[in-house]
Structure 1
Amino acid sequence: MQFNVKRLLLLLAIVISGQTYLEQPVEAAEKSTALSPSQQQSMKAAREKAAWKKRRIIFNNDGNEPVYSLKEATPQALLDVRTSPLKGSQVDTIFYCTWSSGFSYFTHDTKVGSVFTEKADKLSNNKTAELIQGGHDPLTVMSDWCKENDVELFWSFRMNDTHDASTAWYGPLLFPPLKKEHPEWLVGSAKQKPKNGRWTAVDFTHEEICDLAFRYVEEVCRNYDVDGVELDFFRHLNYFKRVSWGEPAGELELQRMNDLLRRIRTMADEVSLQRGRPILIAIRVPDSVEYAKILGLDVETWLKEDLVDIMTVTGYFRLNPWKVSVELGHKYQVPVYAGLSESRQKDQVARKVYASTEGFRGRAANAWSQGVDGVYLFNSFNPRHPLWRELGEPEQLKSLPKVYFTSARGYASVNSWWKQGSAFMNRDILTPNHSRVVSPGKTIGVILPVGENPVATDASLNLKVRLKDVPKNGEALNVIINGETVALKLTETRFLAGEINPRFVREGENRIEFQLSSAAKKPVVVEDLQLWVNYSE
């Protein structure tokens, strides 16, 4: 073990100042040992085998149950909210986050960070302290259940969650002691808010922040029986002050985060060797390496250097077809999971479709058809929903009704973290907040991915095109699928709809064109495109 003078000086300063949230168990540091080349090779092989195990569905649980949902502080009460009903489902892995904000707050029995015990306002039901005092650490409860039910468990660490920046009632209550004591470690302030992201984000250019992040992960790896750790970089996407104030990440920022990942990898392998089985490192990141790198996340370097074992992509937005991320991950022998977040489409008519069971089936079918190794659901918490028993088996999905559309979410939020983020969009999106204007005599087109062959599955297809304003002559707008004009009629308010020939649609990318007659008096705005797939009983 190398002698780290800078880290020793930091720890001495912490001891002198009496800041207990940075305390580290002595035994953790003493156990650190360098792996020999043969041990490294053996551990790499064990990690690779574990990384490629079958994970049909990964269930990301944000860990809010101890704070909001329990009537009593017991393990069973905790499990019954979101976990016990998953037994027998296609969920092979749970990523469990012990609380969602802010950096340093947790609902497991941390000695390095701060346990979230706030009970003010709508947090009055918070039973975290009672659970821990009763010997029922939520992370241990989850670990025990997973072992009993042959389900894999990862601890999910939100690397820079900033729910504490909200102006809603909960914002100030989620603001942790660490940030109050060290405002200089944040990217901004309530009075000086940054251009990109949120002011309560911690700045990883500070070595103290990197050291804390490392020790949060180390504490879990050494003290809890987990199969892996997820470093969730999508909650939220601001990590450096430089980027928050409008400059792309430079060498310093990239090096800081790369070194943190290297340090976590080394520690996880050391602990893995001691306990006799690997601790996997998973990441959730944007699906554009170029966009991520501007933010300071050097994803391809992490993959190239074997610092991560599993990669999940997307969250608030998706910038590329799934196959782009699959090709990247598989190039470095890393499995790739499709992150399916809940729809936040503001238009309620569209959202009802995007958030429907059929909508999730279509999204999952598209992801599977482009080669992902499994699906990952985020902000979906009803453990009794049929999706947990459907989305993980692509063959099963083929015979289930579904709907295909271009995006369950828009991509406006891509600009929240980097003002020019939309420049990285490499997909066609047609939704009410990303509509298309068709001028008289003109044709516009969009690509609609379809994750199945309708002819092979003997499906019936219904196409629906939503218009902002219905033209006086509803047939003035022609709809063309892969070169074939289809007959649609105004069967619903502001919708052109009709059954179409399955032979017109192919598995993969389909070009849908909208052609407006030159005789039309004004442009037509197309707001949505839906392909409904049904099967005979």
Structure 2
Amino acid sequence: MKNINLRTQVVLTVLTLLLLENSVCPAAEKAAEAKQDQQQAMKAARQKAAWKKRRIIFNNDGNEPVYSLKEATPQALLDVRTSPLKGSQVDTIFYCTWSSGFSYFTHDTKVGNVFTETADKLSNNKTAELIKKGHDPLTVMSDWCQENDVELFWSFRMNDTHDASTAWYGPLLFPPLKKEHPEWLVGSAEQKPKNGRWTAVDFTHEEICDLAYRYVEEVCRNYDVDGVELDFFRHLNYFKRVSQGEPAGELELSRLNDLMRRIRAMADEVARQRGRPILVAIRVPDSVEYARVLGLDVETWLKEDLVDIMTVTGYFRLNPWKESVKLGHKYDVPVYAGLSESREKDQLARKVYASTEGSRGRAMNAWSQGVDGIYLFNSFNPRHPLWRELGEPTQLKTLPKVYFTSARGYASVNAWWKQGSSYMNRDILTPKHPRVVSPGKSVSVTLPVGENPQETGAALELKVRLKTEPQNKEVLLVKVNGEAVQLDLNENHFLSGRINPDLVTEGENRIEFALAATATRPAVVEDLQLWVTYQE
């Protein structure tokens, strides 16, 4: 009898569980389906936001609270670099709250340290006063951007090493985190690394990866930003192994890959909670191979949909713009041309490279190769006309400009990896990187031109600068796409002259320098410029 009762109880229990399962499963399935629908909708919204029109992205390094304010007010902060941008072609601001060095910020962080140093030339630092008064710089920027329909990203310098400088500011930027944990650094002041700078934190330490994640998470959860930029170009030193001269291995690659996955998942979670996407942008070298040596697995990030926006180049550019465009668009990611200020030490060349005409030529070349917008770095005068020109290629076409091979050169590519220059895949001709033409020999250089002069009715002037005055102006023969051109000797060892617009095409142009066999010494070509002007 007991056995029968026991069997009956078991049967009843099973039937009850089945009934419960049948009633719960549909509800659980509906909840899962609803969550999946929400995720798909947010992903679609994220993709749409990623492809928003951004004519110009303004990267603001956030120096204003530290150096530039006479009073600690929102208006004083905005007047320095932001308010004058109203009505310009700047559709997006990437605002960096310093992160220099790693863990120091000028927003009201609880995870890192607020930068309150006032020693030496930092005596005007008003960061602490702004925050105390309720004027967090990042919130001030967010409010202004919303009022003026400008997109705002928080820019995080992933491993800034300005604190390695021997200048007055270096020791003052060295944060408590690094003093307390010297074992987390890639080197020391006494044992400097082969590659990069000794104050860089080593991302092989899980503690560093976790801190980087928490810095980003804190901003995503507490500030009304449209996205976050992970600026890997500041600076390109992430692992002790690489700093000691070995390429990044699987451990190093996995560390940053996992960090990127965590950030993507967190950004998407916060986006679902607030009902609006949080985009993830990166600034990286324009060579997948070079970046991977350093530990940045850029193509994996793109392939796994961890990135929404990609900006390429900084201290140097290794490839034509079109290569980065091809990579980004392969994974449905918009690509922005990063234009940094010229650091050419030769004053004659720098005057041209840093000119308004020079910036127009650089931007026009980028637009012609398919980039989705222009990103300006270390350009801080909000009243400069470039903010109202560089974002519209049709407008640029009829403005005077000058084309040259590079405004930056590429020497710094070897600072982060000693063999970095081996990844260079384009021609550079600057005073620091001249071309030597031996008697009876010729040398050619590719000069990209971002427009068809025949269509725009432009007048062209070619300028070739030599290191020393030639013995005879006719000794050096210059050809443009196979056609000889007549150039006259001018001051500062320049050969220059008007050339037929029909000789120049949009895209790559071959400029050849040939030296007569009768020459008694080589010719050293230091610079090449193509000036484009239009009739009024």
Report the TM range for the smaller structure's normalisation: over 0.9
Mapping for residues 356-505 of structure 1, pairs under 5 Å: 356-505=355-504
Distance 1:244 1:45 in 2: 40
| SS of residue in 2 equivalent to 1:50 | helix
Residues 1:524 and 2:523 aligned together: yes
Partner of 1:534: 533
Question: Who is 2:328 aligned against?
Answer: 329
Distance (Å, rounded) in 2 between the aligned partners of 1:467 and 1:259 = 51
For 1:72 and 1:157, the matched residues in 2 are separated by 26
Map of 2:279 onto structure 1:
280
Q: Where does residue 120 of structure 2 map in the other structure? A: 121
Q: Which runs of 5+ in 1 are unaligned?
A: 1-32
C-alpha offsets along residues 295-322 of structure 1, whole Å, 9 cap, x if unaligned? 0000000000000000000000000000
Q: Residues 427-481 of structure 1: CA distance to partner in whole angstroms, max 9, x if unpaired?
A: 0000000000000110110000000000100000000000001121111100000
Pairwise CA distance, 1:99: 1.2
What SS does the aligned partner of 1:455 have? helix
The question of whether the paired residues in 1 share the 8 Å contact of 2:475 and 2:515 is answered with yes
Q: Distance in 1 between matches of 2:512 and 2:374?
A: 30
Query: What do the CA deviations read for 1:130-189 (whole angstroms, capped 9, x no partner)?
Result: 000000000000000000000000000000000000000000000000000000000000
Once the two structures are superposed, the pairs formed by residues 101-500 of structure 1 within 5 Å of their partners are 101-500=100-499
Structure-2 separation of matches of 1:471 and 1:319? 32
2:46 matched to 1:60? Answer: no
Relative to 1, partners in 2 of residues 1:338 and 1:35: Cα closer, same or farther, differing over 3 Å? Answer: farther
What CA deviation, in whole Å up to 9, does each residue of 1:493-517 have, x standing for no partner?
3000000000000000000000001
User: Quick one: which amino acid aligns to residue 336 of structure 2?
Assistant: Y
- What is the letter of the counterpart of residue 336 of structure 1? V
Q: Is the 8 Å Cα contact of residues 195 and 242 (structure 2) preserved in structure 1?
A: yes
Q: For the aligned residues, what is the CA RMSD?
A: 1.1
Q: Secondary structure at the match of 1:475?
A: coil
2:70 and 2:76 in contact (8 A); partners too:
yes
Quote the Cα distance in structure 1 between the aligned partners of 2:312 and 2:33. Answer: 32
Question: In structure 1, how many angstroms separate the alpha carbons of the residues matched to 2:468 and 2:63?
Answer: 43
Q: For residue 35 of structure 1, report the CA deviation from its aligned partner.
A: 9.9
Secondary structure of 2:152 counterpart: strand
Q: Deviations over 1:177-204 (max 9, x none)?
A: 0000000000000001000000000000
TM norm structure 2: 0.93
- CA displacement, residues 202-248 of structure 1 (integer Å, 9 cap, x when unaligned): 00000000000000000000000000000000000000000000000
> 1:83 maps to what in 2?
82
CA distance in 2, matches of 1:376, 1:111: 30
- Deviation, 1:285, is 0.1
Matched with 2:41 is 42
Scaled by the length of structure 1, the TM-score of the pair is 0.93
Q: 1:412, CA displacement in angstroms?
A: 0.6
Instruction: Tell me the distance in 2 between the aligned counterparts of 1:35 and 1:220.
Output: 28
Cα deviation, residue 44, structure 1: 1.5
Displacement of 1:37 in angstroms is 3.4
Tell me by how many angstroms 1:43 deviates: 1.8
Task: Tell me if structure 2 keeps the 8 A contact 1:62–1:100.
Answer: no
Amino acid at match of 2:142: S
TM superposition outliers: structure 1 runs of 4+ over 6 Å: none
Match of 1:92 in 2: 91
Q: SS in structure 1 opposite 2:455?
A: coil
2:339 is aligned with what amino acid?
A: L
Aligned letter for 2:205? Answer: H
Q: Using a 3 Å threshold, how does the CA distance of structure 1 residues 479 and 35 change in structure 2: closer, same or farther?
A: farther
Contact 2:88 2:387 in 1 (8 A): yes
Uncovered stretches (5+) of structure 2, i.e. residues with no partner = 1-31
Contact 1:94–1:152 (Cα < 8 Å) also in 2:
yes
Q: Shift in Å at residue 100 of structure 1?
A: 4.5
SS in 2 for 1:94: strand
User: Contact 1:464/1:529 (CA < 8 Å) preserved in 2?
Assistant: yes
Deviation at 1:40, TM superposition (A): 2.7
User: 2: CA distance between counterparts of 1:78 and 1:528?
Assistant: 40
1:219 match: secondary structure: helix
Aligned-partner residue type, residue 147 of structure 1: Q
Distance 1:518 1:100 in 2: 57
Rg: which structure is higher? 2
**CA deviation string 1:356-406 (max 9, x = no partner):** 000000000000000000000000000000000000000000000000000
1:492, distance to aligned residue in structure 2 (A): 2.1
Distance 1:224 1:278 in 2: 13
The answer on whether the counterparts of 2:39 and 2:272 sit within 8 Å (CA) in structure 1 is no
The one-letter code of the counterpart of 1:108 is H
Measured in 2, the distance between the counterparts of 1:455 and 1:100 equals 48
Whole-Å Cα distance in 1 between the matches of residues 105 and 316 of structure 2?
A: 26
Query: Residues 390 and 396 of structure 1 are in contact (CA less than 8 Å); yes or no, is this contact kept in structure 2?
Result: yes
**One-letter code of the match for 1:504?**
L
